[in-house]
Structure formats: C-alpha cells, structure tokens
Amino acid sequence: KKSYARSVGKMFAGVILLAVAVVGLGYGAVLREMQRALDEYNQGDPEAALKRYEAAEQRLQNFGALRLIPVKDRQNLILNQARLLYAMKRFDEAAERLERENELPGLNSDGRFLLLRGEIAFRKAVTNYQDSPKKDQRLLEEALLAAEDSLRDSLRLSPNDWDAKYNYEFINYVRNLMNQNDDGKIKILMENVRVKETQPKPLPPDKQS
C-alpha cells in the first residue's frame, strides 16, 4: 500500500509539474507576442500591433489566465490596446477597452488609465464641438467636467505626471473662460487645441512608466 501511495504521489507531482511547464511556456509565448506588437507599432503599423495584442489577450482568456498573470503585464496589455485605438482616433473603442479596468483586479490603481480616459473624454468633447453647427457650450462644459474629473483622479495616483498636470490646468482654464462667457477665446481654443496628449507608445511587458 505504501508503495502504491508513493507511486500515486509521484504521478500527481509529475502532472502538476507538467501543467506548470505548459502554462509557463504558453505565457512566455504571450510575452513574446506583446513584444512583437511593440515592434510593429514602432515600425509604423498600429493596426498590426493592435491585432497582435488582441490575439495575445484572447489566448490568455482561452486559458482562463488573464486574471492570473502579473498585474504589471495585465495593465500594459489592456492599456496598450487602448493607446493604439486612441492613436487611430477610435475614441469610443479606446474608452470601451479601458472599461476592462473595472473588471480586472489591479487596473484601477494605475494612473495611466485615468490619464488616457481623461484625454479621450477631452478629445471627444473637442471633436463634437468642432463638428456641431450649434456650438453648444453647455454640452461642451459637461464633457470637459468629465475629462477634468479623470485627470484629477489620475493626479491623485500619479502626482508627478506632467502630462496630467498640463491637461488638467488647460481644461480648467477653458472652463474658467466659459464661466466668463468669453465666446471668442473659447472658439479659438477649441479650433486650435493645444492640449498635451500622451504619446501612444505602448510599453514592453517588462517595463512601466
């Protein structure tokens, strides 16, 4: 009986080691795909980079491993997809991608998500204002408030982020002009936006800003 128990124990341990090895190899392949996505972006092909990131995430989802990988890698995987969508001016899709922050642990503590969310809200506000023949400042102010809130939250998490500081102060300045009913200056600002946008440079999986 003891010999049988030892044999069963060895088999069980072997199965566990094999599973760990398979998962490790699979995760290593995902990290390599993320690095290839970064290379494609740097070569000027954001579409190919986005597809590769999406494929890497889907692979992790299929194995039920997205919640199990290190928080740093999960943050970069989601954020990089949103950055690429933002760079391609697919703002609604970028915002939707960031909503995964609320579904996965560890993402809502990263100020970079809130910074990008604020930039998306601001860019959409500007686009809607520029495209609207009525130039509704009430709707503009509501959108700017949403962007300002995200940037304020980003600064709470990353108080030394100069992009967040600049954009927060710029939006606050525009809102002050609106309270002064200075339509002329607001029109000039919205038609010649000077907001400092975070450059959509996806980070490799082993680095964070």
pLDDT value, residue 21: 37
What is the per-residue DSSP string for 150-203? HHHHHHHH-TT-HHHHHHHHHHHHHHHHHHTT-HHHHHHHHHS----PPP--PP
CB 147 within 8 A of CB 122: yes
Q: Calculate the CA 133 to chain-centre distance.
A: 32
Cα three-residue angle 8-12-18, rounded to 5 degrees = 145
Annotate 113-152 with three-state secondary structure: HHHHHHHHHHHHHHHHHHHCCCCCHHHHHHHHHHHHHHHH
pLDDT value, residue 189: 65
Q: Measured between alpha carbons, how far is residue 187 from residues 133, 173, 177, 190 in Å? A: 12, 13, 10, 5
Residue 79 contacts by C-beta under 8 Å, 6 or more apart in sequence?
A: 98, 110, 112, 113, 116, 202, 203
Cα–Cα dist 14/8, whole Å: 10
pLDDT value, residue 125: 87
pLDDT value, residue 71: 79
Residue by residue, pLDDT tens for the chain (209 residues) are: 545 444 444 444 433 433 333 344 456 777 788 788 888 888 888 899 899 888 888 887 877 777 777 778 888 888 889 989 998 889 999 999 888 766 765 556 778 889 999 999 988 888 888 888 877 878 888 888 999 999 999 999 889 988 889 889 888 888 887 777 666 666 666 665 555 554 444 443 333 33
Task: Please tell me whether residue 64 adopts helix, strand or coil conformation.
Answer: coil
pLDDT value, residue 162: 87
- Tokens 């999960």 locate to 74
Cα–Cα dist 185/174, whole Å: 9
